[in-house]
Amino acid sequence: MQFFKLMGIVPLGIGFTVLVFVWSQPFNGFGDIPVFFRLFASFVALGFILQGAALLSGQFTDPNKLKAMLERMRPDVPKNSTTDEETPKSNTELSYSCSNCGAALSPKAEVSPHGDTKCDHCGKWFNIYNRQA
């Protein structure tokens, strides 16, 4: 687990290198770096420094701490839930019926993108999503 601590040296070194390079350049000289870019590079370097410091601090080296942190971050989901029961059926498995006569929608029926179709049995228009026009 010491490998995670060693991995923190790389972003920490990159961050400090960028900070030193950006702010050690002369001001008002030929080819100087504008202040906006110095500040922008400093904020990017700060992210690298914080990431490296977090890895070096050892917070991620203990597997029990890491597992506890991941459990806190997960949403509350029952451990024995199955996703098969919760998945919606595909359109081929669903059967739509006319809201007027109850006849099943024919396989060759044309349905608009909003779900409007005409019943082949009674000839009335209905919406397969039970929306009112």
User: Taking the domains of the chain in order of start, what are their residue ranges?
Assistant: 2-73, 95-133
Mean pLDDT of successive 10-residue stretches along the chain, which has 133 residues: 76 94 87 91 95 80 73 68 52 68 85 87 85 60
Angle at 49 between CA 25 and CA 14, to 5 degrees: 55
Q: Residue 23: which residues within 8 A CB-CB, separation 6 or more?
A: 38, 42
The predicted structure's pLDDT at residue 69: 75
Question: The pTM is what?
Answer: 0.45
